[in-house]
Amino acid sequence: MITKLYEPLLIVEDSDADFDILKHLMEEMVVQNSIYRCEDGDEVLDFIYQQGEYKNPDLAPRPAVILLDLNLPGTDGREILDRLKQDRQFKEIPIVVFTTSANPQDIQFCYQKGANGYLIKPMTFSELEKTIRAFVDYWLEVNTPPISN
C-alpha cells in the first residue's frame, strides 16, 4: 500500500490572471499539495537547480509535477521541457504542458521531447474548470509518481 504524499506542484505561468484563476480553482478543489510558481523560464531553472534566489532547498523543493506554460519570457517552455527531460536528475518529474497553443507542431514537439501531457487552455471558465479538475484528479490524486532520489 502506497501512502499518498502531497508533494509540491510547480506552476510555470507568466500571466498573473491565469495563475490566480488556477490557484483559486485548486483551492476550491481542496488541493493538498503545496503550490509554487515561477513566472519565466530562467526562474524555473533557478528553482529546479536550487540556484540564485532558490539556493535554500526549503524555497525550492523538488516538484512532484510541473504544469508548464510554453510561451514564457526569457527561456521559453519548449527549452525548459527539453532541458529537464534530458537531465537524468529531473527527467522522471512529470511535465504537463498547459498552453494556449493548439499548434500541431507544438504538440508534436512537446511529446517528442518527453512531455507527459498537453492541455490547451480553454477559453471559457467552465471548460477551464473541467480541465483543471481533470489535471488535479489524475496528476495530484490518482497518479503514483516515481520515488525521487
CA atoms of 61 and 36, how far apart (whole Å): 9
Domain ranges of the chain: 9-142
12-22, pLDDT tens digit by residue? 999 999 999 99
Average the pLDDT over 110-120 and give the result. Answer: 97
43-83, pLDDT tens digit by residue? 999 999 999 999 988 899 999 999 999 999 989 999 999 99
Determine whether 28 is exposed, middle or buried from the number of CB atoms within 10 Å of its CB (0-12, 13-18, 19+): exposed
CATH of domain 9-142: 3.40.50.2300
What cell numbers appear for 94 in the block? 512529470
